[in-house]
Amino acid sequence: MSPPVRMEETSLLWLLCVSSLLSCPTTQVSLTVSPSSSQMFKGQSVSLSCEEDDSSAGWTLRRNTTRDTRTQCEDWGSPAGSSCIITYMVSSDSGVYWCESREGATSTSISITVPGGPVILQSPVLPVTEGQDLTLHCRTKTSSNLTASFSKDDSFIRTGPAGHMTIPHVSRSDEGLYRCSISSVGESPPSRVSVSGNDLSVSMVMTPAPQAEEGLDDGYDDVTTAVTTEHHF
């Protein structure tokens, strides 16, 4: 039998693991959404998938809406390999989507809303890192380059002549609810933008399943979210 590991040795192993992500055995899953926006037009087709680096983890795509809780793709979409496709989005598809393992670990959740209006705002689904540029896009079903007005927390910011606006080098003060409007077309619902620090951090918490909410965070390019499950040494 191997001798017991002393408390000092255990603490050292833990410190080395946290200091070097590559030395820690982890299981990761990525939630990919295409097109990557949490505001969707009615009738739009959307593909979601849980992409994992360890098939033994058994990750499953789930969602919460106002009418169902923790349901799987088979209940509301069409499974296609590792993806789940919703061919025609409707208002009842609004909710929170995430990947979940058999052990109960979950990925970062993404809120998707189908407002049914003529205008949507596309912004990052995940928090923007301090110092990065933030670009917002205002779109109709047929165009993404019409002149649009942008506001934050109901205060006008400026007009984007080509339907988009960029805030350079964001800080925490740029967090808030953003929306856009296009003259003679309509206004988008609000979308929350969060800003995170740029320090490297390791989360060792296995979070509970997300709850359905009205958050409207969006992204312009395909977005990927990841989770790292807890390990003991």
pLDDT tens for 85-94 read: 999 999 999 9
Residue 180 lies in a domain: yes
Residue 58 lies in a domain: yes
Residue 2 lies in a domain: no
User: Lowest mean pLDDT: which of 25-39, 67-81, 84-98, 216-230?
Assistant: 216-230
Q: Pick from 96, 75, 99: which is nearest to 86 by CA? A: 75
What is the C-alpha separation between 60 and 39, in angstroms, rounded? 23
Q: Pick from 163, 162, 172: which is nearest to 132 by CA? A: 172
Q: Pick from 191, 228, 232: which is nearest to 105 by CA? A: 228
- CATH number of 187's domain: 2.60.40.10
**171: which 2 tokens?**
């800080």
Residue 233 lies in a domain: no
Residue type, 85: I
How many domains does the chain fold into?
Answer: 1
The predicted pLDDT at position 55 comes to 53
Residue 87 lies in a domain: yes
Structural contact between residues 148 and 159, judged by C-beta atoms closer than 8 angstroms: yes
The predicted pLDDT at position 16 comes to 36
Counting residues of the chain whose pLDDT is more than 70, the rounded percentage is 71
Average pLDDT over residues 173-194: 95
Residue 17 lies in a domain: no
Q: What stretch of H or E contains 21?
A: none
Residue 208 has pLDDT above 70, yes or no: no
Q: Range of 167's domain?
A: 27-228
Residue 7 lies in a domain: no
The predicted pLDDT at position 63 comes to 96
The predicted pLDDT at position 224 comes to 52
Residue 10 lies in a domain: no
Q: Three-class SS of residue 192?
A: strand
Residue 119 has pLDDT above 60, yes or no: yes
The predicted pLDDT at position 105 comes to 86
Average pLDDT over residues 171-195: 95
Confidence of residue 222 (pLDDT cuts 50, 70, 90): low
